[in-house]
A and B are shown apart, each in its own frame.
Chain A
Amino acid sequence: GENVEQHPSTLSVQEGDSAVIKCTYSDSASNYFPWYKQELGKRPQLIIDIRSNVGEKKDQRIAVTLNKTAKHFSLHITETQPEDSAVYFCAASKPRAGNMLTFGGGTRLMVKP
């Protein structure tokens, strides 16, 4: 089955700096890659996603890049703010009954003011 590896597990940046989180996946049939943000004690919420027919997608300070050949994708957050502090999860999915997502292990991002 699909395996998603996420790095780093923790990331500490200064406010205003950029943060990059990287994920690799194993199944070349995967074609959908969402990113979720989970604040302490709350549910994961979708922040951005990308499909395999697109190499990059941007939404204000957040961007995701996808390299299908290398089977890796990354989340980029620019001009980080303290409210960006959370755990971020990447995931991968392929067309199949149930639409299951396979999640990475998560990255705890801490933005220091």
Chain B
Amino acid sequence: SQTIHQWPATLVQPVGSPLSLECTVEGTSNPNLYWYRQAAGRGLQLLFYSVGIGQISSEVPQNLSASRPQDRQFILSSKKLLLSDSGFYLCAWSVRGSMRNTIYFGEGSWLTVV
């Protein structure tokens, strides 16, 4: 069966510091991968998605970047964090080319920028 791992689970970072969140998927090949952000008590905002290695699409302009160095690895980064980057970050995956576009989420990473 497929599993998705995301880490770290929580982190507190000072303003201006870098960020790296990592996500890996197991049990599937060529998945679509996503990064979502959820501000406290708010909805799900799609930040980036990837349909293959090195292929990244950004949905909103921001202080963050994403990379996909391997088929099942997705990384969210920032060079200098802002207070507004605080939130719950969710990595997710789906089966590429599936008619049933179900997205499966990782357990999430709580980021607090202080």
Residues of chain B at interface, number, CB under 8 A: 24
CB of B79 within 8 Å of the partner chain: no
CB of A73 within 8 Å of the partner chain: no
Q: Is the CB of A89 within 8 A of B51?
A: no
CB B112 to nearest CB in A, in angstroms, measures: 14
CB A15 to nearest CB in B, in angstroms, measures: 24
CB A69 to nearest CB in B, in angstroms, measures: 22
Given the known interface contacts A32-B100, A97-B51, A100-B49, the answer about A44 and B107 at a Cβ–Cβ threshold of 8 Å is no
Q: Is the CB of B101 within 8 A of A89?
A: no
Q: CB within 8 Å of A: which of B57-114?
A: 57, 90, 94-96, 98-108
Which interface class (under 10, 10 to 19, 20 to 34, 35 or more) fits A?
A: 20 to 34
CB of A51 within 8 Å of the partner chain: yes
Closest chain B residue to A95, Cβ basis = B99
**Please, which residues of chain A bring their CB within 8 A of the CB of B102?**
34, 46, 49
CB of B46 within 8 Å of the partner chain: yes
**Please, which residues of chain B bring their CB within 8 A of the CB of A98?**
32, 49, 51, 57
**Please, which residues of chain B bring their CB within 8 A of the CB of A46?**
102-104
- Looking at A18-26, A60-68, A74-82, A103-111, the stretch in contact with chain B turns out to be A103-111
Q: Is the CB of B43 within 8 A of A100?
A: no
Bound form: Cα–Cα A45–B98 in Å: 19
Q: Is the CB of B49 within 8 A of A43?
A: no
Bound form: Cα–Cα A42–B95 in Å: 22
CB B38 to nearest CB in A, in angstroms, measures: 9
Bound form: Cα–Cα A91–B105 in Å: 14
Bound form: Cα–Cα A93–B108 in Å: 22
Nearest 8 pairs of A and B residues by beta carbon: A99-B101, A93-B101, A43-B105, A103-B44, A105-B43, A99-B94, A98-B49, A32-B101
